[in-house]
A and B are shown apart, each in its own frame.
Chain A
Amino acid sequence: AQSVTQLGSHVSVSEGALVLLRCNYSSSVPPYLFWYVQYPNQGLQLLLKYTTGATLVKGINGFEAEFKKSETSFHLTKPSAHMSDAAEYFCAVNFGNEKLTFGTGTRLTIIP
């Protein structure tokens, strides 16, 4: 079955520390991969996406993610966390059809 899993519903990091949010998927076909961010009381907005080409993808606000086919992963990273990064982050996967499947989300807290 095709699915997407985000490990860790809550992640806390200190300001200036590395941010690592994990996303794994299960699929027999190459997927299209996305990370979205949701700030309080707002809709979601796209951080970055992988469809084809270079497996290291850079997004907005200093975030990047690497598609690792052998590990079926698309983890989101940022070298140095900022207070404004506090939000909920969703990994999403399209398995080549008209549906986007979202993970359950990871709430990121930044410790001053």
Chain B
Amino acid sequence: NAGVTQTPKFQVLKTGQSMTLQCAQDMNHEYMSWYRQDPGMGLRLIHYSVGAGITDQGEVPNGYNVSRSTTEDFPLRLLSAAPSQTSVYFCASSYLSTLGLALTGELFFGEGSRLTVL
């Protein structure tokens, strides 16, 4: 199995440009999420989804949009890139507990997308 696949692995943007980070999983997971990783700050949740057609905000959603039209795909859109969005982005997916949607299972991560905004 491919697991969680992210593209591109590297991207350089100029301030104000837009782009989409792609994420696909082949494990039929209901839950998908996007994190950004910055030195000394750990991973911070940007957006997440508990199923097709359902998305919600995480800790740092500003400047990012998501949609979930299928179970497999969860793209992250930067509408107008800023230098503060320079980071490594991780997509992750999981099953949800049947006991009230708690995230008790393992998160499966992609290999990351390194984005630089000049």
Q: Which residues of A contact B (CB under 8 A)?
A: 6, 9, 32, 34, 36, 41-46, 49, 51, 90, 94, 96-105
8 nearest CB pairs, A to B:
A43-B109, A104-B42, A102-B43, A102-B42, A46-B106, A94-B103, A44-B109, A51-B104
Task: Return A90 CB to nearest CB of chain B, in Å.
Answer: 6
For residue A100, which residues in chain B have a CB less than 8 angstroms away from its CB?
33, 45, 103, 107
Question: When the two chains form the complex, which single residue of B44, B102, B106, B110 contacts A43, counting CB atoms closer than 8 Å?
Answer: B110
B58: interface (CB < 8 Å): yes
B48: interface (CB < 8 Å): yes
Q: Which residues of B contact A (CB under 8 A)?
A: 4, 31, 33, 35, 40-45, 48, 50, 56, 58-59, 90, 92, 96, 100-104, 106-107, 109-112
Question: When the two chains form the complex, which single residue of A51, A94, A96, A99 contacts B58, counting CB atoms closer than 8 Å?
Answer: A99
Report the bound CA distance from A104 to B37 in whole Å: 9
B41 engages A104 (CB within 8 Å): yes
For residue A51, which residues in chain B have a CB less than 8 angstroms away from its CB?
104
For residue B50, which residues in chain A have a CB less than 8 angstroms away from its CB?
98
